[in-house]
């Protein structure tokens, strides 16, 4: 991890190693979560790292949220939403053809009854059925995609709220240890 040393428990370390996007030496646990910490009482970097690890654990246990697990959950939900969007784009496919077949059958029946020309009625019915089927298919596809987008937005909002709750808990702990905290 670029020469960084954290004072974290084994359970935290496992989570951190797999998903922590640390780019430079000097990044801390808090800064990897976009939380900015300033030592008001002149604490040294090693003490700050230890305090951050302690507050991380405290915040996880009190908020019920582990930000690194939350990040994994968010990635999984994004993949799931992508798959659902792809499925939603398939909704309504073939509606024009199905509409044409149904319309042709109805048109043939009506054409036979009206002027003894089932072929002509079938042709008109197929055209009308295809148009109607395409419209219904497009509406179904749009509805399915809208539902996927709404679900994805709700999940994203939930993740953001959980992360905010974690940051609040983490901040309370760090402030109790005489740090200035902003996120």
Residue 161: per-residue pLDDT? 96
Predicted confidence (pLDDT) per residue in 9-53, tens digit:
434 433 443 444 433 345 788 999 999 999 999 999 999 999 999
Every domain of the chain and the residues it spans? 10-65+165-182, 69-162
Closest CA to 111 of 99, 125, 100: 125
Given a contact cutoff of 8 angstroms between Cβ atoms, the answer to whether 133 and 97 are in contact is yes
Name the band, by pLDDT with cuts 50, 70 and 90, for residue 144.
confident
Residue 2: per-residue pLDDT? 39
**Burial class of residue 159, CB neighbours in 10 A (0-12, 13-18, 19+):** middle
Given a contact cutoff of 8 angstroms between Cβ atoms, the answer to whether 121 and 107 are in contact is yes
d(CA 33, CA 74): 14
């Amino acid at each position: 991890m670029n020469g960084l040393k954290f004072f974290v428990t084994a359970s935290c370390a496992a989570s951190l190693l797999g998903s922590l996007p640390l780019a430079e030496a000097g990044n801390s646990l808090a800064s990897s979560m976009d939380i900015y910490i300033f030592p008001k009482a002149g604490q040294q970097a090693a003490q700050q790292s230890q305090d951050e690890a302690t507050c991380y654990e405290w915040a996880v246990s009190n908020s019920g949220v582990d930000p690194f697990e939350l990040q994994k959950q968010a990635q999984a939900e994004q993949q799931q939403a992508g798959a659902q969007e792809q499925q939603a784009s398939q909704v309504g496919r073939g509606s024009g053809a199905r509409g044409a077949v149904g319309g042709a059958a109805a048109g043939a029946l009506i054409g036979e009854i009206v002027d003894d020309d089932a072929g002509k009625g079938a042709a008109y019915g197929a055209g009308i059925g295809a148009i109607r089927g395409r419209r219904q298919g497009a509406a179904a596809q749009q509805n399915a995609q809208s539902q996927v987008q709404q679900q994805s937005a709700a999940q994203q909002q939930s993740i953001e709220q959980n992360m905010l709750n974690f940051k609040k808990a983490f901040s309370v702990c760090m402030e109790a240890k005489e740090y200035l905290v902003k996120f």
